[in-house]
């Protein structure tokens, strides 16, 4: 048995409610094994929460929408009209003691995530996306803001996305990482349904969401926050 979170949007005092779900995990690196695990996870969610419309958000998803919404594939457009994957935008925005590596914008998503400099440049100090500077706290705020901005730009996905009740990411292990694309998707759905997407235009208004609403994510699953990897 294994555990993964399910992220449910628009839950009263919560923008997103997170619950840990037990399911049968199928070992192996093949996509087919990952997809068996996804099916097992979604069946457990259906049995325990009565949710029938659950979208896996990852490159291993059985649904094409879920694949397209992977941070490796979802694109964000800058003011000049150039587009980058959310993954490249996120990794290139990290500011370390030894600097920031904006050249990661032009790498593949996999290259950007695996770049050795991200591990050898000292402490992570914050984020800087085209002069938009973010601190490390609230912990998931910058990633959520970046991802939700990208998703808001890609309106072709909205109608289908809004038909889902909850979201998962089989690759996200809350014992090892903090930021999760499935959580950000659920947060987007809540903001959309509550007509609150205007907060994306104001950094402080977006940050205030983490004070105005109770936060239910997987950070509580960690005993030592300093040991986490910021995705």
Structure confidence at residue 4 (pLDDT) = 97
Name 78's Cβ contacts closer than 8 Å, sequence gap at least 6. Answer: 84, 130
Query: Above pLDDT 70, what percent of the chain?
Result: 94
* Residue 224 phi, psi (nearest 5): -125, 100
pLDDT average, residue stretch 106-129: 98
Res. 231: pLDDT tops 70: no
Query: Above pLDDT 90, what percent of the chain?
Result: 88
In whole angstroms, what is the distance from residue 128 CA to residue 95 CA? 7
Give 123: exposed, middle or buried? Use CB within 10 Å, 0-12, 13-18, 19+: exposed
* Residue 178 phi, psi (nearest 5): -110, -60
pLDDT average, residue stretch 22-28: 95
Tokens in use for 130? 């085209």
Res. 224: pLDDT tops 70: no
Structure confidence at residue 130 (pLDDT) = 94
pLDDT in tens, 57-108: 999 999 999 999 999 999 999 989 999 999 999 999 999 999 999 999 999 9
pLDDT average, residue stretch 4-21: 92
Under 8 Å between Cβ of 40 and 25: yes
Under 8 Å between Cβ of 85 and 72: yes
Domain spans in the chain, listed from the N-terminal domain onward:
2-227
pLDDT in tens, 148-168: 999 999 999 999 999 999 999
Structure confidence at residue 227 (pLDDT) = 47
Structure confidence at residue 218 (pLDDT) = 62
């Amino acid at each position: 048995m294994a555990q993964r979170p399910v992220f449910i949007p628009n839950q009263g005092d919560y923008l997103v409610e997170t619950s840990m779900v037990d399911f049968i995990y199928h070992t192996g690196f093949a996509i087919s094994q990952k997809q068996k695990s996804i099916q097992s996870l979604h069946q457990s969610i259906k049995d325990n929460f009565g949710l029938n419309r659950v979208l896996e958000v990852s490159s291993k998803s059985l649904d094409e929408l879920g694949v397209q919404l992977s941070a490796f594939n979802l694109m964000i457009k800058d003011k000049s009209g150039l587009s980058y994957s959310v993954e490249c935008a996120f990794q290139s925005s990290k500011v370390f003691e030894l600097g920031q590596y904006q050249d990661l914008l032009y790498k593949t998503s996999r290259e950007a995530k695996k770049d050795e400099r991200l591990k050898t440049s000292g402490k992570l100090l914050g984020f800087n996306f085209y002069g938009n500077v973010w601190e490390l706290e609230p912990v998931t705020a910058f990633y959520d803001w970046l991802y939700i901005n990208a998703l808001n730009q890609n309106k072709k996905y909205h109608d289908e996305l809004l038909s889902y009740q909850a979201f998962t990411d089989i690759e996200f292990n809350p014992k090892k990482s903090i930021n999760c694309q499935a959580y950000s998707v659920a947060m987007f759905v809540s903001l959309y349904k509550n007509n609150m997407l205007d907060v994306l235009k104001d950094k402080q208004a977006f940050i205030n969401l983490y004070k105005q609403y109770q936060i239910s994510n997987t950070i509580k699953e960690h005993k030592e926050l300093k040991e986490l990897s910021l995705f």
